[in-house]
Amino acid sequence: MKPQGVIEENIKLRAFTFLLANKAKDWLYYLPSGSIRTWIDLKRKFLKNFFPAFRAGTIQKEISGIHQNNEESLYEYRVPFSELCASCPQHQISDQLLLQYFYEGLLPMKRSMINAVSGGTLIEKSHEEARDLISKMVANSTIWSQGRPHAQKGK
C-alpha cells in the first residue's frame, strides 16, 4: 500500500528505520539531526559505515575467483555464489560480469554442458537468456541430485 501524495523516497526513509536492529539502529539514532535529507544520503552513509570499501573489495575478489568443486552440483555451486553476491550490496559488479564469473568458475564439463544446452556458447546469449538458462539448469540439477527411485526390474 502506498499512501496517496507521499513520494516513494519518503516511504523508504520511514520504512528503513523499522528494518534496523542493535548497532545499526543505534547508529541511525545517534546521527546528527538533519544529516540525512534524502534516501541517497541514508543509503550512502549506511553503506559507508557498515560495508566499507575494503570489505567490498575483498568480496569482489572472492566473487571473481569462485570455482566449483568436483563434488558440487550446479545448485550446490550457485548457492554460495549467490550468498557471496548478496553479502555485499555495493560490490558494483555488473550482472553481465557476475554471470561471466559464475560461468568461468564452473568445472569444464559443466561449462560444456551449458554451452551444449545453449546451442553454442553461453556468452552468445543475452544476459536475460543466459540467466534464465542457468536458472533452469540449476533447478533441474536440484531435482536430479535429490535422487530418483530406481525402476524395478521386470516392470
The domain segmentation of the chain, as residue ranges, is: 8-50, 53-145
SS3 content of the chain, % helix, strand, coil (to 5): 65, 0, 35
**pLDDT tens per residue across span 120-151:** 888 888 889 988 998 888 888 766 655 544 44
Residue 145 pLDDT = 54
**Percentage of the residues of the chain whose pLDDT score is greater than 70:** 90
Name the nearest CA neighbour of 92 among 55, 135, 133: 55
- Threshold 0.75, pTM exceeds: no
Phi/psi at 81 (5° precision): -65, -45
- Check residue 107 and report its DSSP letter: -
Q: pLDDT, tens digit, for every residue of 1-33? A: 677 888 888 888 888 888 889 999 999 999 998
In Å, what is the CA distance from 54 to each residue of 33, 61, 92? 28, 11, 13
Rounded to whole angstroms, the Cα distance separating 119 from 115 reads 6
The string of DSSP codes covering 22-62 is: HHHHHHHHTSPTTS--SHHHHHHHHHHHHS-HHHHHHHHHH
pLDDT at position 15: 87
Mean pLDDT across the chain: 85
Please give the pLDDT value at position 153: 41
**Once rounded to an integer, what is the mean pLDDT over residues 49-66?**
88
Banded model confidence at residue 65, pLDDT cuts 50, 70, 90: very high
Q: Please report, in angstroms and rounded to a whole number, the separation of the first and last CA atoms in the chain.
A: 57
